[in-house]
Amino acid sequence: MFRRIGAAMAVAALALTGACGGGDDDKSSTAKATDTNFAAGTTMAKLHDAKKITIGTKYDQPGIAYKDPASGDLQGFDIEIAKYIGAKLGLDENQIEFKEVISKNREDFIKNGSVDLVIGSYSITDERKKVVDFAGPYYVTGQQLLVAKDDDSIKGPDDLKGKKVCSVTGSTSIATVEEKYGANPVPFGTYTECVNQLTSGSVDAVTTDGAILLGYAARQPDKLKVVGDAFSTENYGIGLKRGDTKFRAWLNDQIEGSFKDGSWKKAFEGTLGKSGVDTPEPPKVDRY
Ligand code: GLU
Protein backbone atom coordinates (compact mmCIF):
# COMPACT_ATOMS: atom_id res chain seq x y z
CA MET A 1 0.00 0.00 0.00
CA PHE A 2 1.35 3.38 -0.97
CA ARG A 3 0.41 6.81 0.21
CA ARG A 4 1.17 9.88 -1.76
CA ILE A 5 1.99 12.92 0.25
CA GLY A 6 1.93 16.31 -1.45
CA ALA A 7 5.32 16.02 -3.05
CA ALA A 8 7.40 19.13 -3.33
CA MET A 9 8.36 18.44 -6.91
CA ALA A 10 8.78 22.03 -7.98
CA VAL A 11 10.92 22.86 -4.97
CA ALA A 12 12.95 19.76 -5.64
CA ALA A 13 13.52 20.76 -9.24
CA LEU A 14 14.81 24.12 -8.08
CA ALA A 15 17.00 22.50 -5.46
CA LEU A 16 18.46 20.10 -7.98
CA THR A 17 19.55 22.89 -10.26
CA GLY A 18 20.78 24.90 -7.31
CA ALA A 19 18.50 27.69 -8.47
CA CYS A 20 16.78 28.44 -5.23
CA GLY A 21 18.62 31.70 -4.69
CA GLY A 22 19.05 33.07 -1.19
CA GLY A 23 22.81 33.12 -0.73
CA ASP A 24 22.25 32.67 2.98
CA ASP A 25 21.51 29.00 2.81
CA ASP A 26 24.34 28.32 0.40
CA LYS A 27 26.07 25.97 2.76
CA SER A 28 23.01 24.08 3.84
CA SER A 29 21.68 21.11 1.95
CA THR A 30 19.27 22.10 -0.76
CA ALA A 31 17.63 18.73 -1.00
CA LYS A 32 13.89 18.56 -0.75
CA ALA A 33 11.76 15.47 -0.68
CA THR A 34 10.87 14.41 -4.17
CA ASP A 35 9.10 11.16 -3.43
CA THR A 36 7.70 10.35 -0.05
CA ASN A 37 5.67 7.53 -1.51
CA PHE A 38 6.98 5.00 0.98
CA ALA A 39 5.66 1.45 1.28
CA ALA A 40 3.80 0.85 4.53
CA GLY A 41 5.84 -0.84 7.22
CA THR A 42 9.17 0.46 6.02
CA THR A 43 11.40 2.55 8.26
CA MET A 44 11.10 5.35 5.72
CA ALA A 45 7.29 5.39 6.12
CA LYS A 46 7.61 5.19 9.89
CA LEU A 47 9.99 8.15 10.11
CA HIS A 48 8.01 10.14 7.58
CA ASP A 49 4.75 9.58 9.47
CA ALA A 50 6.36 10.32 12.84
CA LYS A 51 7.64 13.60 11.37
CA LYS A 52 10.85 12.95 13.22
CA ILE A 53 14.23 11.30 12.81
CA THR A 54 16.98 11.10 15.42
CA ILE A 55 20.46 11.25 13.96
CA GLY A 56 23.59 10.65 16.00
CA THR A 57 26.55 12.81 15.07
CA LYS A 58 29.71 14.33 16.48
CA TYR A 59 29.59 17.79 18.03
CA ASP A 60 33.29 18.60 18.13
CA GLN A 61 34.74 18.01 14.67
CA PRO A 62 35.03 21.25 12.69
CA GLY A 63 34.32 20.75 9.00
CA ILE A 64 32.59 17.40 9.61
CA ALA A 65 30.13 17.85 12.45
CA TYR A 66 30.49 20.70 14.87
CA LYS A 67 28.15 22.41 17.31
CA ASP A 68 28.88 26.11 17.54
CA PRO A 69 29.00 26.84 21.27
CA ALA A 70 27.68 30.38 20.82
CA SER A 71 24.76 29.80 18.47
CA GLY A 72 24.15 26.11 19.10
CA ASP A 73 24.12 25.61 15.31
CA LEU A 74 25.40 22.38 13.86
CA GLN A 75 27.70 22.69 10.89
CA GLY A 76 29.76 20.39 8.69
CA PHE A 77 29.71 17.88 5.89
CA ASP A 78 28.06 15.13 7.94
CA ILE A 79 25.38 17.58 9.05
CA GLU A 80 24.65 18.40 5.40
CA ILE A 81 24.37 14.70 4.57
CA ALA A 82 21.99 14.29 7.52
CA LYS A 83 19.84 17.21 6.36
CA TYR A 84 19.73 15.78 2.85
CA ILE A 85 18.48 12.43 4.15
CA GLY A 86 15.94 14.19 6.38
CA ALA A 87 14.64 16.20 3.44
CA LYS A 88 14.32 13.07 1.32
CA LEU A 89 12.15 11.58 4.06
CA GLY A 90 9.93 14.61 3.66
CA LEU A 91 11.04 16.15 6.95
CA ASP A 92 11.79 19.77 7.69
CA GLU A 93 15.12 20.59 9.26
CA ASN A 94 13.43 21.16 12.63
CA GLN A 95 12.07 17.61 12.49
CA ILE A 96 15.61 16.24 12.57
CA GLU A 97 16.74 15.70 16.12
CA PHE A 98 20.52 15.55 16.39
CA LYS A 99 22.03 13.65 19.27
CA GLU A 100 25.70 13.72 20.20
CA VAL A 101 27.61 10.49 19.81
CA ILE A 102 31.25 9.74 20.51
CA SER A 103 33.26 7.11 18.71
CA LYS A 104 32.74 4.34 21.23
CA ASN A 105 28.96 4.56 21.67
CA ARG A 106 27.84 4.59 18.03
CA GLU A 107 27.07 0.89 17.67
CA ASP A 108 25.25 0.83 21.04
CA PHE A 109 23.14 3.88 20.18
CA ILE A 110 22.04 2.28 16.92
CA LYS A 111 21.40 -1.10 18.50
CA ASN A 112 19.35 0.22 21.42
CA GLY A 113 17.33 2.64 19.29
CA SER A 114 18.69 5.85 20.87
CA VAL A 115 19.23 7.03 17.29
CA ASP A 116 17.76 6.02 13.94
CA LEU A 117 21.02 6.70 12.12
CA VAL A 118 24.59 7.66 12.85
CA ILE A 119 26.24 10.10 10.49
CA GLY A 120 29.43 10.96 12.32
CA SER A 121 32.83 10.25 10.69
CA TYR A 122 31.78 6.63 10.93
CA SER A 123 34.05 4.25 9.04
CA ILE A 124 32.54 1.15 7.51
CA THR A 125 34.43 -1.85 8.89
CA ASP A 126 33.81 -5.60 8.84
CA GLU A 127 33.98 -5.66 12.63
CA ARG A 128 31.26 -3.01 12.98
CA LYS A 129 29.18 -4.73 10.30
CA LYS A 130 28.73 -7.62 12.72
CA VAL A 131 26.68 -5.26 14.88
CA VAL A 132 25.21 -2.54 12.62
CA ASP A 133 24.69 -1.98 8.90
CA PHE A 134 26.06 0.80 6.74
CA ALA A 135 24.85 2.69 3.71
CA GLY A 136 27.53 4.33 1.62
CA PRO A 137 30.35 5.11 1.58
CA TYR A 138 29.62 8.76 0.95
CA TYR A 139 33.19 9.92 1.56
CA VAL A 140 36.67 8.42 1.77
CA THR A 141 39.48 9.81 3.88
CA GLY A 142 42.55 8.32 5.57
CA GLN A 143 44.35 8.43 8.87
CA GLN A 144 47.00 11.13 9.33
CA LEU A 145 48.88 12.89 12.12
CA LEU A 146 48.40 16.24 13.81
CA VAL A 147 51.49 17.68 15.52
CA ALA A 148 52.69 20.97 16.95
CA LYS A 149 53.56 23.48 14.26
CA ASP A 150 57.20 23.67 15.35
CA ASP A 151 57.72 19.90 15.66
CA ASP A 152 59.91 18.53 12.88
CA SER A 153 60.56 15.14 14.50
CA ILE A 154 57.31 13.52 13.29
CA LYS A 155 56.74 13.44 9.55
CA GLY A 156 54.77 10.21 9.22
CA PRO A 157 53.67 7.10 11.12
CA ASP A 158 57.15 5.52 11.02
CA ASP A 159 58.37 8.30 13.33
CA LEU A 160 55.88 7.34 16.04
CA LYS A 161 57.88 4.63 17.83
CA GLY A 162 57.89 5.44 21.52
CA LYS A 163 55.96 8.69 21.00
CA LYS A 164 52.82 9.52 22.91
CA VAL A 165 49.99 9.53 20.42
CA CYS A 166 46.49 10.50 21.42
CA SER A 167 43.44 9.02 19.77
CA VAL A 168 39.92 8.07 20.67
CA THR A 169 38.63 4.92 22.33
CA GLY A 170 36.49 2.87 19.96
CA SER A 171 37.95 4.46 16.81
CA THR A 172 39.70 2.72 13.96
CA SER A 173 42.50 5.28 14.42
CA ILE A 174 43.64 4.07 17.81
CA ALA A 175 43.57 0.45 16.67
CA THR A 176 45.76 1.20 13.63
CA VAL A 177 48.33 3.19 15.54
CA GLU A 178 48.56 0.58 18.30
CA GLU A 179 48.71 -2.43 16.04
CA LYS A 180 50.98 -1.18 13.29
CA TYR A 181 53.28 1.58 14.45
CA GLY A 182 54.60 0.81 17.92
CA ALA A 183 53.41 4.13 19.31
CA ASN A 184 52.56 4.70 22.92
CA PRO A 185 48.80 5.26 22.58
CA VAL A 186 47.01 7.68 24.84
CA PRO A 187 43.24 7.09 24.65
CA PHE A 188 40.64 9.77 25.28
CA GLY A 189 36.90 9.91 24.65
CA THR A 190 36.91 12.67 22.02
CA TYR A 191 39.29 14.28 19.57
CA THR A 192 38.84 17.66 21.25
CA GLU A 193 40.41 16.20 24.39
CA CYS A 194 43.27 14.84 22.28
CA VAL A 195 43.86 18.21 20.64
CA ASN A 196 43.96 19.83 24.08
CA GLN A 197 46.53 17.24 25.15
CA LEU A 198 48.63 18.18 22.16
CA THR A 199 48.44 21.95 22.61
CA SER A 200 49.32 21.57 26.29
CA GLY A 201 52.34 19.44 25.38
CA SER A 202 51.16 16.27 27.13
CA VAL A 203 51.27 14.18 23.95
CA ASP A 204 53.43 14.31 20.81
CA ALA A 205 50.72 13.78 18.21
CA VAL A 206 47.03 13.21 17.63
CA THR A 207 45.95 10.69 15.06
CA THR A 208 42.69 10.15 13.24
CA ASP A 209 41.17 10.79 9.81
CA GLY A 210 42.84 13.56 7.84
CA ALA A 211 39.49 15.23 7.23
CA ILE A 212 39.00 15.61 10.98
CA LEU A 213 42.56 16.76 11.68
CA LEU A 214 42.47 19.40 8.94
CA GLY A 215 39.46 20.95 10.66
CA TYR A 216 41.38 21.28 13.94
CA ALA A 217 44.51 22.58 12.20
CA ALA A 218 42.43 25.19 10.37
CA ARG A 219 41.23 26.50 13.74
CA GLN A 220 44.73 26.95 15.20
CA PRO A 221 47.04 27.30 12.18
CA ASP A 222 49.77 29.00 14.21
CA LYS A 223 49.96 26.05 16.64
CA LEU A 224 49.08 22.90 14.71
CA LYS A 225 49.81 21.15 11.42
CA VAL A 226 48.79 17.93 9.68
CA VAL A 227 51.77 15.87 8.48
CA GLY A 228 52.44 12.89 6.23
CA ASP A 229 50.38 10.91 3.78
CA ALA A 230 47.28 8.99 4.73
CA PHE A 231 48.13 5.56 6.15
CA SER A 232 44.67 3.96 6.21
CA THR A 233 41.47 4.05 4.17
CA GLU A 234 38.38 5.25 6.00
CA ASN A 235 35.10 4.82 4.14
CA TYR A 236 32.48 6.97 5.83
CA GLY A 237 29.08 5.33 5.95
CA ILE A 238 25.67 5.99 7.44
CA GLY A 239 25.16 3.56 10.30
CA LEU A 240 21.74 1.97 10.73
CA LYS A 241 20.12 -0.99 12.48
CA ARG A 242 21.49 -4.27 11.29
CA GLY A 243 19.16 -6.14 8.97
CA ASP A 244 17.03 -3.19 7.81
CA THR A 245 17.72 -4.00 4.17
CA LYS A 246 15.04 -1.77 2.66
CA PHE A 247 16.16 1.26 4.62
CA ARG A 248 19.79 0.60 3.67
CA ALA A 249 18.90 0.29 -0.03
CA TRP A 250 16.88 3.52 0.16
CA LEU A 251 19.73 5.33 1.94
CA ASN A 252 22.14 4.14 -0.74
CA ASP A 253 19.76 5.51 -3.39
CA GLN A 254 19.75 8.89 -1.65
CA ILE A 255 23.53 8.98 -1.33
CA GLU A 256 23.84 8.26 -5.05
CA GLY A 257 21.15 10.86 -5.72
CA SER A 258 23.19 13.48 -3.85
CA PHE A 259 26.21 12.64 -6.01
CA LYS A 260 24.15 13.09 -9.18
CA ASP A 261 22.14 16.18 -8.30
CA GLY A 262 25.09 18.30 -7.21
CA SER A 263 24.08 18.46 -3.53
CA TRP A 264 27.02 16.36 -2.38
CA LYS A 265 29.58 18.57 -4.12
CA LYS A 266 27.92 21.73 -2.86
CA ALA A 267 27.82 20.36 0.71
CA PHE A 268 31.48 19.40 0.51
CA GLU A 269 32.64 22.73 -0.82
CA GLY A 270 30.70 24.61 1.86
CA THR A 271 32.20 22.58 4.71
CA LEU A 272 35.33 20.43 4.38
CA GLY A 273 36.35 22.38 1.31
CA LYS A 274 36.82 25.36 3.58
CA SER A 275 39.38 23.46 5.72
CA GLY A 276 41.53 23.07 2.62
CA VAL A 277 40.40 19.63 1.44
CA ASP A 278 40.06 19.38 -2.35
CA THR A 279 36.67 18.18 -3.51
CA PRO A 280 37.15 14.55 -4.47
CA GLU A 281 35.14 12.41 -6.87
CA PRO A 282 32.28 10.78 -4.95
CA PRO A 283 33.04 7.17 -4.01
CA LYS A 284 31.21 4.11 -5.30
CA VAL A 285 28.40 3.07 -3.02
CA ASP A 286 28.83 -0.49 -1.75
CA ARG A 287 25.55 -2.37 -1.93
CA TYR A 288 26.83 -5.37 -0.02
N1 GLU B 1 36.55 7.23 11.03
C2 GLU B 1 37.18 6.62 12.14
C3 GLU B 1 36.22 5.73 12.93
O4 GLU B 1 35.07 5.61 12.59
C5 GLU B 1 37.84 7.62 13.06
C6 GLU B 1 37.01 8.82 13.38
C7 GLU B 1 36.06 8.61 14.53
O8 GLU B 1 36.48 8.08 15.57
O9 GLU B 1 34.90 8.99 14.39
O10 GLU B 1 36.62 5.10 13.87
Residue 122 buriedness (CB in 10 A; 0-12 / 13-18 / 19+): buried
* CA 133 to ligand 1 center in whole angstroms: 16
38 lines ligand 1 (CB under 6 A): no
CB–CB of 144/210 below 8 Å? yes
Ligand 1: atom nearest CA of 171 is: 10
CA distance 125 to 132: 10
Helices (H), ranges, 37-145: 43-50, 77-88, 106-111, 126-129
123 lines ligand 1 (CB under 6 A): yes
Strand order in the sheet with 60-61: 60-61, 65-67, 74-75
Q: Which of 37-41, 66-70, 177-181 has the lowest mean pLDDT?
A: 177-181
How confident is residue 31, by pLDDT bands cut at 50, 70 and 90? low
Ligand 1: atom nearest CA of 173 is: 5
How confident is residue 164, by pLDDT bands cut at 50, 70 and 90? very high
pTM of the model: 0.88
Of 59, 66, 100, 103, which is best to mutate to test ligand 1, by the most ligand atoms within 8 angstroms of its C-beta?
Answer: 103
* CA 46 to ligand 1 center in whole angstroms: 29
30 or 46, greater pLDDT: 46
Q: Identify the helix (H) or strand (E) that includes residue 143.
A: strand 143-148
Residue 89 buriedness (CB in 10 A; 0-12 / 13-18 / 19+): buried
